[in-house]
Chain A
Amino acid sequence: MSSQPSIRIALVGNPNIGKTTLFNKLCGLNQRTGNYPGVTVDKKKGAANYKGQSLEIIDLPGINSLYPKSKDEELVVKYLLDTKNEEYPDKFVVVVSALNLKRNLYLLDQVKDLNIPIVLAVNMIDLAEKRGIFIDFEALSNHFNVPVLPISAKKSTGIDQLKDQLLESVEVTERAAHYLEEAEKDMLSRFRDIAFDKNDYKVFLRLTQNLDENPQVQQAKDTFIRKEEVNLRKLRKNAAILRYRFVNEGLKKALTIDKSKAVDLTTRADRLLMHPIWGQVTFLLVLLAVFQAIFWLASFPMDWIDIGFGSLAEWSATALPEGYLSQLITEGLIPGIGGVVIFIPQIAILFFLFSLLEESGYMSRIIFLNDRVMQKFGMSGKSIVPMISGMACAIPAIMAARTIENSRERLITILVTPLLTCSARIPVYVLVIALVIPDDTYIWIFNAQGLALMAMYLLGVLMTFIVALVLKRILKPVYKSYLLLELPEYLIPDMKNVLVRVWNNVKSFIWNAGKIIVATAIILFVLATNGGEEFQQAEVYVQENHATLSTEEQAVFLSSYQIEKSYLGQIGKTIEPAIEPLGYDWKIGISLVTSLAAREVFVGTMSIIYAIDSEETMTIRDRLKKEVNPSTGMPVFGLATSVSLLIFYAFALQCMSTVAVTYKETKSFKWTAIQFGYMTALAYFGALIAYQILS
């Protein structure tokens, strides 16, 4: 261990240049992502040790320029400009791709003018050579006046040299503002009196974009712009042209391309993959494969997990000494943890396939192909990414909406995404569907239960688009929306990147959703096994009032009486009048209440209520089927109640983590409340109508 303070290094660059590959190469699994609640920038942090010096590495989201157009970019630009921050990095690595030098160097040219210590890493040099792209790194270094290091993050070439460079001190050299014309320079120096900063470029940025200025400065700035008749747009356009001119001069000296070696596989692949008809067909096939993998492939490990936790509970019931604590473990904690673990296969598979699609470059083609359709529903082609991940879990999906530039399209995407069938709904659907449709029912060659599950998915998708359409009508566009997207070259995915991403996502799911689910399971168990006076006197009551029953019958009656009089039972009873029109009794009511934390808790709650209710070990499904309404003598889970329950779970926002992440991403109490409100209303009235028609 070294006693020196660690060097803080941030990676900056355009999207799709292998920045994350480099980050993974530098710090391996020694990394963490900011958790959903409470952080402002979703920055990935990692640590590494090199030659006795500890390095702290920060991977910033990819940006196109220092003129942010999306939430993501805005966060990064704020971070870069916040030089006074205690945690401001000591050094920056600007990562560019050798395959796309011109556009990537444009960003370097902007960052360079912030006068911060920069090292330039030119990535993908292995691929560049194959394509006949030759770069004179020394000429590049001289032109931009920064240390330049050729690397291939994927092949691990040049990584040590990069680290060596990072241990050395980097000199910051100032240069004249080549992004301004002479007259503009004078104007800017006058503006400096209003918004003072040592750095010319920061003064320029403060003039040409809306950074959070204090009201006084803002007012002075507005007056200045009016008085001097400053054309901000022209300033920005000129700056772009002048910067590209400077970049081109550098490339003239540093870049030679041997055209005979250039094989453009990407263009050839795109002729098929972006074809008006074949492109759509390929996309649908890819989508089908993704869903097959999520549901069919994941079902095997999920079954093992299910069985495993079942036997674990049985084993601990016999192995542990009898007592309240053991009961808490067997009937509260183990099923609670099992309820989280069971989702891991699906989430892992989803993120595995997603990473493959993104790393290979196909994801941008999906955005391109779907933009037109999504536009009709007030969203952007980029909304397709959150929506597909919403099929696994709404939490990462809502965060993925950050890349959508237009605030209205982003808001609509966030508001509708939780309507898509996330994996937490699956156990509820599977359980309830099995109550009304027997296992071996077939419609032609299709399993009827499977068809019903598919119908639930379609219901979710349908409602998503209906609500989006309604929101599109209501919400007035504030900014003009546009799509400007770079379609990267097709590349073979880097397996390490893919696996690291799967690992990070699974980890954060277990941590975030897991906390809530396990906590609920324990609270629930405590509420179900404690109660007021009537609960404590239950044994005496049963012995006195039902003395005629046999001892066994008395025991059964006692446990059902106890659950009714427990705190949990009281809660269920209190809300019973509100949910009776939907066809639910107080036991289902309890499950609805506990599902507010997370939907998947429904199954756990049902099993806890009914396991506590009965001494026999029976699967939860068979227990529910046998449940009879005491006043009518009819099964509680008839067709009407089951359908009503399915509709309720399809539309209700029963997931505290989603509510939290929506609030964090929209920073608006209003929209968080609207999302929760409209979904609850849809759920309640949808279930009400279904029950009243069917019963």
Chain B
Amino acid sequence: MTRKLSEYMVNQTGVIKQILDTDVAERLMEFGFLPGTIFSVISRAPFNGPVCIQIENNRIALRLKEAAFVLVE
């Protein structure tokens, strides 16, 4: 089942399946959001603030809006 990255809670992990075609898509990919990559959620800021994702040895913060463009299987 496909879920959005933005729906993942702290400490959950998953494998990125696809990046939806939007303006930030290439930037997300440049930051390492590539299909097949394993990630885990480190933290979510309060009041629906940004999420912090760990990809390999990198921690990357992004807003929920952008996290919704990342599909996970």
- Name A residues whose Cβ lies closer than 8 Å to a Cβ of B: 64-65, 67, 69, 99-100, 102-103, 106, 233-234, 236-237, 240-241, 244, 266-267, 270-271, 274-277, 279-280, 364, 367-369, 371-372, 375, 381, 479-480, 482-488
Contact of B62 among A233, A240, A275, A484 (CB under 8 A): A484
Q: Find out whether the CB atom of B44 lies under 8 angstroms from the CB atom of A482.
A: no
Chain A residues with CB below 8 A from B28, complex form: 484
- In the bound assembly, the distance between CA atoms of A106 and B28 in angstroms comes to 13
The complex places the Cα of A544 from the Cα of B23 at a distance, in Å, of 82
Tell me whether A372 and B48 are in contact in the complex, defined as CB-CB below 8 angstroms, given that A103-B32, A266-B59, A485-B62 are known contacts.
yes
B26 within 8 A of A: yes
Q: Is the CB of A267 within 8 A of B26?
A: no
By secondary structure, the B interface counts as mixed
Interfacial chain B residues near A241, Cβ < 8 Å: 29, 34
Q: Are A67 and B46 in contact (CB under 8 A)?
A: no
- 0 or 1 for each of B25-48: is its CB under 8 Å from A? (1 = yes): 111111110100000001111111
Which residues of A have CB within 8 Å of B50?
368, 371-372, 381, 483
Q: Is B15 an interface residue (CB 8 A)?
A: no
- Cβ-defined partner of B58 (8 Å) among A65, A103, A367, A368: A103
Is the Cβ of B30 less than 8 Å from the Cβ of A64? Answer: yes
In whole Å, how far is B37's beta carbon from the nearest beta carbon of chain A?
Answer: 9
Main secondary structure of the interface of A (DSSP, over half): helix
For A266, the closest partner residue in chain B by CB is B59
Which among A103, A267, A271, A371 is the interface contact of B45 at CB below 8 angstroms?
A371
- Residues on the A chain within 8 Å of B24, using CB: 480, 482, 484
Q: Which residues of chain A are near B44, meaning CB under 8 Å? A: 276
Determine whether the beta carbon of A102 is less than 8 Å from that of B56. yes
Contacts of B32 in A (CB 8 A): 102-103, 244
Q: Is the CB of B62 within 8 A of A244?
A: no
**Interface contact A483-B61, CB-CB below 8 Å:** yes
Q: Is the CB of A100 within 8 A of B26?
A: no
User: With A266-B59, A276-B45, A371-B45 in contact, is A484–B52 under 8 Å at CB?
Assistant: no
Residues in A with CB closer than 8 Å to B48 are 372
Contacts of B2 on A, CB cut-off 8 Å? none
- Tell me, in angstroms, the Cα distance from A276 to B57 when the chains sit together: 22
18 more A-B residue pairs beyond the given contacts A371-B61, A484-B62, with a C-beta to C-beta distance below 8 A: A67-B27, A69-B27, A102-B32, A233-B26, A237-B21, A237-B29, A240-B30, A241-B29, A266-B59, A270-B42, A274-B45, A274-B52, A371-B50, A372-B45, A482-B27, A483-B66, A484-B60, A486-B58
B13 an interface residue at 8 Å Cβ cutoff? no
Q: How far is the CA of A561 from the CA of B15 in the complex (A)?
A: 83
B65 is an interface residue with CB less than 8 A from chain A? yes
Is B63 an interface residue when CB atoms closer than 8 A count as contact?
Answer: yes
Cross-chain contact A487 with B26 (CB below 8 angstroms) = no
Q: How far is the CB of A250 from chain B (nearest CB, A)?
A: 15
Structural contact, B61 and A277, CB atoms closer than 8 A = no
Contact between B46 and A276, CB atoms less than 8 A apart: yes
Q: Is the CB of A99 within 8 A of B26?
A: no
C-alpha spacing A567/B24, complex, angstroms: 60
A247 CB to nearest chain B CB (Å): 10
CA distance A102 to B33 in the complex (A): 12
Count chain B CB atoms within 10 A of each CB in A67, A102, A487 and give the residue with the most. A487
Chain A contacts for B61, CB-based, 8 A: 364, 367-368, 371, 483-487
Closest to B29 in A: A240
Contact partners of B25 in chain A: CB under 8 A: 233, 237
Q: Which residue of B has the minimal Cβ distance to A236?
A: B26
Given contacts A266-B59, A270-B52, contact A103 B26 (CB under 8 A): no
The verdict on A100 contacting B27 (CB below 8 Å), with A275-B43, A276-B44 known, is: no
Residue of B nearest to A277 (CB): B46
* Distance, CA A64 to CA B19, complexed state (A): 19
Across the interface, A487 reaches (CB within 8 A) one of B21, B49, B59, B65, namely: B59
Chain B residues in 8 Å Cβ range of A236: 26
Shortest CB–CB separation between residue B28 and chain A, in angstroms?
Answer: 7
Q: Which of B24, B60, B63, B66 has the most CB of A within 10 A?
A: B63
* Contact across chains for B65 and A482 when beta carbons are under 8 A apart: yes
Closest to B64 in A: A372
Complex interface: chain A residues within 8 A of B45 (CB): 274, 276, 279, 368-369, 371-372
A274 and B21 in contact, given A100-B58, A369-B49 (Cβ under 8 angstroms): no
Residues of B within 8 A of A102 (CB): 32, 56
* B8 CB to nearest A CB, Å: 15
Provide the bound-state CA to CA distance between A372 and B46, in Å.
8
| Residues on A with beta carbons closer than 8 Å to the beta carbon of B19 | 237
| Min CB gap B63→A, angstroms | 5
When C-beta atoms are compared, the residue in chain A nearest to B48 turns out to be A372
Shortest 10 CB-CB distances between A and B: which pairs? Answer: A372-B49, A274-B43, A487-B59, A240-B29, A276-B46, A236-B26, A485-B61, A368-B61, A65-B30, A483-B63
User: How far apart sit A484 and B47, CA to CA, in the bound complex (Å)?
Assistant: 18
CA distance A99 to B58 in the complex (A): 9
Given contacts A236-B26, A270-B42, contact A482 B58 (CB under 8 A): no
* Complex Cα gap A277–B54 (Å): 20
Inter-chain CA distance A480–B69, complex, in Å, is 14
- Contact residue among A479, A487, A488 (Cβ-Cβ distance under 8 Å from B52): A487
What are 29 A-B interface contacts by the 8 Å CB criterion?
Answer: A64-B31, A69-B27, A99-B57, A102-B32, A102-B56, A103-B31, A234-B21, A241-B29, A244-B34, A270-B42, A270-B43, A270-B52, A271-B43, A274-B42, A274-B43, A276-B46, A367-B61, A368-B49, A371-B45, A371-B61, A381-B50, A480-B23, A482-B27, A482-B62, A482-B66, A483-B50, A483-B63, A484-B27, A485-B61
